[in-house]
Amino acid sequence: MRLIMNEADRDHVTAAVVEAEKATDGEIVTIVARRSDAYHDAGLHWAIGVVFLALSVAAAFPQQFRRLCSWLLQSWEHEIEDWKLLTVLLGLLILKFLIVRYALAWMPLRMALTPKATKARRVRRRAITLFRAVAQGRTRGRTGVLIYLSLDEHRAELVADAAINEKVAPEVWGKAMAALVDGAQAGRAAEGMAEAVRQVGRVLAEHFPATGDNPNELPDRLIEL
């Protein structure tokens, strides 16, 4: 799934927004982002987890750990001094921590090892933050809707303003979100976004039909982050 859309893709989404808003007093904002978070904490948590796992293994198999230390130190002693054991243990723990931490600096691996629930929360949080910045309370009737696609997480979110939430149940948006995610997964993010806009426009037209006095209060163009 590519982030940078060409001009035709942008025009396609913009045209869908313009057309959808003709039948409603609602306003639709579309945003697509590469990802919603850097997930640095996920990499840190995995590195810390590996350290604790290594400590647990050393505690569970002390004799095997002593033999490992003897091999690493090339020691002829029957009993390795405690300070040497602890020094080797500390060195191994630091090494494991750094290996995992730097391995997870590679974003595809970090994304693969980040729990789905964590990604879902971060995408939702980013969508709400963006909605508050660009749409919330910025229309006269509080009828703004944000459609947000986060490519790396393969997730989409829809956030609606107060007046819409009073009339439309969250599950009503399911079909629009499915169209958006399916289009993105198929490599047709622009078409998926346009179809989601059309679905949302139908819902808005049902509950907030155009009254004739309908200024364009929010941007129609696709916003890329």
The string of pLDDT tens digits covering residues 4-19 is 577 888 888 899 998 8
The reported pLDDT for the residue numbered 58 is 85
Handedness of CA 194, 197, 202, 208 (dihedral sign): negative
195 lies in some domain: yes
What is the layout of strands, in order, in the sheet containing 223-224? 155-160, 144-150, 27-33, 223-224
pTM for the whole thing? 0.80
Q: What is the DSSP string of 183-212?
A: HHHTT-HHHHHHHHHHHHHHHHHHHSB--S
> Of residues 72 and 174, which shows the higher confidence score?
174
201 assigned to some structural domain: yes
Into how many domains does the chain fold?
Answer: 2
Q: What string of DSSP letters covers 14-57?
A: HHHHHHHHTTBS-EEEEEEES-S---HHHHHHHHHHHHHHHHHH
Residues 81 and 159 in one domain: no
Residue 124 and residue 100 in one domain: no
Q: Which of 75, 101, 69 is nearest to 87 (CA)?
A: 69
Query: Hunting for tokens 């948006």 — which residue is that?
Result: 173
Clarify whether residues 184 and 207 are in a common domain: yes
CATH number of the domain residue 20 falls in: 3.10.310.50
Domain that holds residue 46: 40-112
129 and 211, same domain (yes or no): yes
Same-domain check for residues 45 and 12: no
One domain for residues 89 and 134: no
What span, in angstroms and rounded, lies between the C-alpha atoms of 129 and 131? 5
Percent of the chain surpassing pLDDT 70:
96
What confidence tier does 1 reach under pLDDT thresholds 50, 70, 90? very low
Q: Which of 58, 93, 112 is the last residue of a domain?
A: 112
The radius of gyration of the chain from alpha carbons, rounded to an integer in Å, stands at: 26
What is the pLDDT, as a whole number, of residue 126? 94
Q: Are residue 104 and residue 168 in the same domain, yes or no?
A: no
Decide which of 75, 95, 112 is a domain's last residue.
112
As a whole number of angstroms, the distance between CA 70 and CA 174 comes to 61
pLDDT score of 77: 59
pLDDT for the residue 128: 93
59-110 residue pLDDT tens = 888 888 888 877 877 766 567 777 777 888 888 899 999 999 999 999 999 9
* Strand partners for 158: 147
Kind of pairing between the strands at 144-150 and 155-160: antiparallel
**Domain assignment present for 189:** yes
Determine, yes or no, domain membership for 2: no
**18 and 50 part of one domain:** no
Residues 123 and 204 grouped into a single domain: yes
Q: Is residue 47 part of a domain?
A: yes
Residues 107 and 156 occupy one common structural domain: no
Distance, in Å, from the CA atom of 77 to the CA atom of 141, rounded to the nearest integer, reads: 82
- pLDDT greater at residue 201 or residue 1: 201
